[in-house]
Amino acid sequence: MPRQQFLRRDEDNDARIDWGIIFSVLVLAVIGMTSLYVALTHDSSTSSVTRVMISQALWYLIGIVAVIFIMQFDAEQLWKIAPLAYGLGILLLILVLFFYSRTYYINNGAKSWFAIGPLSFQPSEVMKPAFILMMGRVISQHNSEYPEHTPRTDWLLLGKLFAWTLPVAVLLKLQNDFGTMLVFFAILGGMILVSGITWKIIAPVAGAVTLLGGTAIFLVVYDRTLLEKIGFQAYQFKRIDAWLDPSSSTTGSSYQLWQSMKAIGSGQLLGKGFNVSEVYVPVRESDMIFSVIGENFGFIGCCLLIFIYLLLIFQMIQVTFDTKNEFYAYISTGVIMMILFHVFENIGMNIGLLPLTGIPLPFISQGGSALIGNMIGIGFVMSMRYHNKSYMFSNGTDFR
């Protein structure tokens, strides 16, 4: 009898683990390591392909440990640590303004990286899951205090969300990291959509944001004086120029985008085959890793990659509905928006649909900081099934 009880407990533990999500992430990791190998092999500036590959593999292992660790936290524990995680993230964003890597600043113009010897770390990447936790707590707590939505309470919730987002936006602006700021806004936008705020408020706000973006593009084309006064940099104008007209300067500001489009286009339907790289693309191992997949595996390979991302997102949505926990639902929405925006922006900028922003492709691009941030997000979602029950918090609110 005791042996049967242990076997039943093991089976229950297996059922609590979402193997579909694990499989999707594993496939993306294999694609990432394969694409990284191709990119590094044909990059003359890389001194040791083996060293970089081992380093990336170690980051994957650290990410796996992070997922296992995060899975041990249930909803109540995540609720409690949300302010601590947010505060630590803000502290790191402040510290990087003073102790940033001078090398990265010279190369990229952003004060967003720590560097200790050969190791580098971007605190904004781990701030993303901390931000998601905090926004989920703010929305859940507000809806608990105001169970009936009215225009007044909805505007109050919007005010709270923007108040918690403002310090992050200001610090990222001081770091000169506009691309990462867009990710936080995408996360915020997705969580607002599921927060219960009426469309009578969301629609005008979305319209105002769209109008603001359209006006900014108009000013870039016809009069940049105002944008220069509010802090837009020359390299940002060049990126938008390259996006609007990629063929205008194929050896200058549009060179990276133009080469990426050539590489992807040259792959045609089935690609040139593994480890065939005939078109040089700068920074191919990180921001432009999608061009490797397009050139090697063609249109079919690119579609397969997008399908795997859609499968991963579908599985995360399914877990959210299965657990029926409001606080978890907001967290998973933030994680989904984080991954979805990264995929949309990275692939879009590789094929010329969106401006270059330096946003990596999740689980595939080289880099430890972004990978760990994404793996922490996966850990949040995995913990939803692992702790599939409702919790009664100290304030008496049931978040089921």
What are the tokens at 18? 């979402």
Domain for residue 60, yes or no? Answer: yes
Residue 114 three-state SS? strand
Q: pLDDT-based confidence at 148, cuts 50/70/90?
A: confident
Mean pLDDT in the chain? 86
Q: Quick one: which of 382, 363, 377, 309 has its CA closest to 128?
A: 377
Domain for residue 73, yes or no? Answer: yes
Say if residues 165 and 192 touch (Cβ distance below 8 Å): no
Overall domain count for the chain: 1
- Evaluate if residue 154 carries a pLDDT over 80: yes
Q: What is the pLDDT of residues 252-299, one digit of tens each?
A: 778 888 899 999 999 999 999 998 888 999 888 888 999 999 999 999
Q: What confidence score (pLDDT) does residue 3 get?
A: 44
- Evaluate if residue 11 carries a pLDDT over 90: no
Domain for residue 11, yes or no? Answer: no
Domain for residue 392, yes or no? Answer: no
Q: What is the pLDDT of residues 184-198, one digit of tens each?
A: 999 999 999 999 898
Distance of CA 296 to the CA centre of its chain: 25
Domain for residue 391, yes or no? Answer: no
Domain span holding position 173: 16-386
Domain for residue 6, yes or no? Answer: no
Q: What confidence score (pLDDT) does residue 10 get?
A: 43
Q: How far apart are CA 297 and CA 31, in angstroms?
A: 11
Q: What is the pLDDT of residues 365-381, one digit of tens each?
A: 998 899 999 999 999 99
Q: For 63-85, what is the mean pLDDT?
A: 93
Task: Render 186-245 in DSSP notation, one character per residue.
Answer: HHHHHHHHTTT--HHHHHHHHHHHHHHHHHHHHHHHH--HHHHHTT--HHHHHHHHHHH-
Tell me the percentage of the chain whose pLDDT exceeds 90: 55
Q: What confidence score (pLDDT) does residue 25 get?
A: 96
CA-to-CA separations, 388 to 17, 90, 210, in angstroms, rounded: 11, 31, 39
Q: What confidence score (pLDDT) does residue 83 get?
A: 96
- DSSP code of 392? B
Q: How far apart are CA 278 and CA 263, in angstroms?
A: 8
Domain for residue 243, yes or no? Answer: yes
Q: For 306-310, what is the mean pLDDT?
A: 97
- Evaluate if residue 106 carries a pLDDT over 70: yes
- Evaluate if residue 2 carries a pLDDT over 60: no
Q: What is the pLDDT of residues 321-348, one digit of tens each?
A: 888 788 999 999 999 999 999 999 999 9
- Evaluate if residue 21 carries a pLDDT over 90: yes
Task: Render 323-389 in DSSP notation, one character per residue.
Answer: HT-HHHHHHHHHHHHHHHHHHHHHHHHHTTSS----PPPTTTSS-HHHHHHHHHHHHHHHHHHHT-S
Most confident of 58-72, 99-113, 209-223, 241-255: 58-72
Domain for residue 45, yes or no? Answer: yes
Using alpha carbons only, what angle is made at residue 68 by residues 66 and 73, rounded to the nearest 5 degrees? 95
Tell me the percentage of the chain whose pLDDT exceeds 70: 92
